Amino acid sequence: MRPGGAIPGAVRAAALALTLAGFASTLWNGVDEPGHALAFGVLIALGELARRGALPGDREPAPLASAGALAYALLGESAGGGTSHGVLQIVAVVVAGGLAGLVPHIARGNGPDLDHLARRILSVGFAALCFQPLYNAGAVTTVLGHGPSYALLLLLLLLLTALCDAVLAALMLRARKGYPYGPLLREELRALLGIGSAVCATGAVMALGVAVAGLWALPVFCVPLLLTQVSFRRFTAVRTTNRQTIASLARATEIAGYTPPGHARRVAALSGAVGRELGLSEPDLTVLEYAALMHDIGQLSLVDPVPEGATALLPAEEQRRIALLGGAVVRQTGVPAAVAVIVERQADPYHEQPLPARIVRTVNAYDDLAAGSACGALTALERLRLATARDHHPEVVESLARVLARGDGAGSIAPVPPG
């Protein structure tokens, strides 16, 4: 079974409580500066509408909406005059704008990611709580004025907000999947250098632009992020097409009758889960997925198919020959050379293999041995443990056992104690 959802549940509950408090306060006290609230609410709604084309699992499916929400949270002045909206009104406007932009997606059956929505609410609330009370009390302008120090303060607050969001995102994924927290946090922090930095920079520029030029600055400063989002969507579409092409090529061994149906897909799914368990980065996981999908492609060069496609049962020299043939084929497909290296080295003694090759070797052997039944899965793991002297790295085998016990990847088994 997967780990419990205590942390995600607590995050959603906190976001819901903050949202209810924001709407209650705004309804009771009225909306301060309705024009600003409407402008930022519309910007956030448009940002949510522009999220069309985002893929499940995208770290920031609506960057313009997030940047607009952060800009409103850090808005102290507009066209040289002070603002008076508070933290709770900011939360109410951000949630209202976000929900308005999500309506068309929900109508098409694409519901929102509740965890991502909860994180945005808490992140915006955190940024507003750090900035608005100090600004409204006059402490910010008295100490820093309106020069570079003020802009630096906004950037520092955005950076702190982004770091807190990364910590929260890693915690929630850790609770959902059970993967080690350290690698998850590293991946979230690495993502800050990409779209995360663009969101923070645009949020700061919007807040500073509105402070000087008023609300007319919003459409001007949102254009660069929109263009970045369009470019990123195109890159994602190309990457998705590439993955689909590789997956189709990997099925050639199944169509030709060399491997059982679904074997490559199962090995890729389990290999990815084991790779996350062992702390591989996102780029390494992509290479691992490609190599796992294509690990048996060398069998197409054989005159006589291997019985059931189970290369794990062949002599070591024959496994190595098929691996080298597969690597030669992979090098002709245009995928990164690292993929071919993993395919070629999957049959080497594990002491000589890179970690992704160790994972592919072990997971492929497991799928060959398990034969899809619960009893077969337990027996397969025990056989892998008995082969840790040369063929399978003990850490990879135990990581595979933990992944299967949680039900990740291509299947699940009851927890198995170490041998």
- Over residues 65-71, the mean pLDDT reads 91
214 in the same domain as 285: no
Lowest mean pLDDT, pick from 27-36, 98-107, 177-186, 374-383: 374-383
269 in the same domain as 200: no
**pLDDT (0 to 100) of residue 417:** 43
Site of tokens 């024959």: 318
Full domain range(s) for residue 231: 6-238
The domain boundary residue, chosen from 238, 268, 303: 238
337 in the same domain as 222: no
Gap between the terminal Cα atoms of the chain: 21
Please report whether residue 246 resides in a domain: no
**pLDDT (0 to 100) of residue 55:** 52
Residue 258: which CATH number? 1.10.3210.10
264 in the same domain as 179: no
Average pLDDT, whole number, for the chain? 82
- In tens, the pLDDT along 266-292 reads 899 999 999 988 888 888 898 999 999
Please report whether residue 297 resides in a domain: yes
pLDDT surpasses 80 at 110:
no
- DSSP output for 52-115: TTPPTT-S-S-HHHHHHHHHHHT--EETTEE----HHHHHHHHHHHHHHHHHHHHHTT----HH
**pLDDT (0 to 100) of residue 317:** 83
Distance CA 203, CA 400 (A): 42
346 in the same domain as 204: no
pLDDT surpasses 50 at 412:
no
288 in the same domain as 166: no
**pLDDT (0 to 100) of residue 371:** 61
Distance CA 57, CA 240 (A): 13
Output 21 or 245, whichever has higher pLDDT: 21
Output 20 or 252, whichever has higher pLDDT: 20
Output 395 or 391, whichever has higher pLDDT: 395
pLDDT surpasses 80 at 346:
yes
59 in the same domain as 194: yes
310 in the same domain as 223: no
Q: Are 342 and 357 in contact (CB under 8 A)?
A: yes
pTM of the model: 0.75
pLDDT surpasses 70 at 66:
yes
- Over residues 85-108, the mean pLDDT reads 89
The domain boundary residue, chosen from 238, 267, 298: 238
- Please state the domain count of the chain: 2
The domain boundary residue, chosen from 238, 265, 295: 238
Residue 334 φ/ψ region, left for φ over 0, alpha for ψ in the -120 to 50 degree band, beta for the rest? left
- How many CA atoms lie less than 13 Å away from 276 in the CB half-sphere? 22
- In tens, the pLDDT along 285-340 reads 989 999 998 888 888 777 666 766 667 667 878 888 888 888 888 888 778 888 88
pLDDT surpasses 80 at 351:
yes
**pLDDT (0 to 100) of residue 418:** 42
297 in the same domain as 157: no
Please report whether residue 15 resides in a domain: yes
Residue 138's SS3 state is: coil
234 in the same domain as 287: no
Q: Are 309 and 263 in contact (CB under 8 A)?
A: yes
- Structure tokens, 336: 């990164």
Task: Report phi then psi at 78, rounded to 5.
Answer: -140, 115
**pLDDT (0 to 100) of residue 2:** 46
Lowest mean pLDDT, pick from 15-19, 45-49, 401-405, 409-413: 409-413
Please report whether residue 398 resides in a domain: yes
Please report whether residue 266 resides in a domain: yes
| Of 293, 301, 315, 185, the residue nearest 249 (C-alpha) | 293
261 in the same domain as 225: no
- Over residues 198-227, the mean pLDDT reads 86
Output 59 or 148, whichever has higher pLDDT: 148
161 in the same domain as 193: yes
Distance of CA 341 to the CA centre of its chain: 26
Percentage of residues in the chain with pLDDT exceeding 90? 21
Please report whether residue 346 resides in a domain: yes
| Of 120, 75, 72, 112, the residue nearest 95 (C-alpha) | 120
- In tens, the pLDDT along 4-57 reads 567 888 889 999 999 999 999 999 999 999 999 999 999 999 888 877 555 555
